[in-house]
Structure formats: C-alpha cells, structure tokens
Amino acid sequence: MPISSKYAPLAVYLAALPAETTTVTLTLTEIEAILGDDLPERAGTGAFWVGGRSRPHTVWLAAGWRVARVAMRVAAPTIAFTRMPRDTITPPRAGERP
C-alpha cells in the first residue's frame, strides 16, 4: 500500500492490526503519536474524520478501515475505526493523493 501522505503511518498501523481485530478506538493523542506529528486544528471536528473520499480519508479507506464513531465532546476525544469487508475496499484512483 504505497501511500504518500502525512497520514500513511495511521494506515500502516491499521493495516497491521490482526485480522480478528474489527474495531479499534484511538484518542487524538494516540493518533498523533502514530503519525509522529500534530493533527491539524480541523481534526477536532467530526467532519475531518468522516469526509468520505477526500483527503486524508482515503488513507484509512485504502487500508480497509472506515470511521465508525467520532467522540469529540469528551475529555479525551476518540475516533473509532471499523474494518471494512474486503469486497467494499476501493483503492485510491491513479494519481489521487490522500
């Protein structure tokens, strides 16, 4: 999965989870640690995470994961990712950058 993006480490992390792991919930702090970089301010909104095929959403979609739940109005905001069935995964189009 050659993805050139700030969010590629998150895709690698999700793709490396055991096949029996179907859901994983991460705090924004944990995601920043995985990325090795700060998230942009707009990551504090649900729209950033569930925006469909626009950037950076294609990264976790290409890895076979979708956002199942966004919890921003809590002390430690979290994003829950759910593994997608293999037959629903759509890789990014040629030339499309996440």
| pLDDT at position 39 | 92
Q: Specify the pTM.
A: 0.80
Q: What share of the chain is helix, strand, coil (3-state, %, to 5)?
A: 35, 20, 50
User: Nearest Cα to 28, choosing from 49, 47, 13?
Assistant: 49
75, amino acid identity: A
9 contact partners, CB below 8 Å, separation of at least 6 = 34, 35, 36
Q: What tens digit of pLDDT does each residue of 37-67 get?
A: 999 888 888 888 887 555 777 888 888 999 9
1: pLDDT strictly greater than 50: no
Q: What tens digit of pLDDT does each residue of 63-80 get?
A: 899 999 999 988 899 999
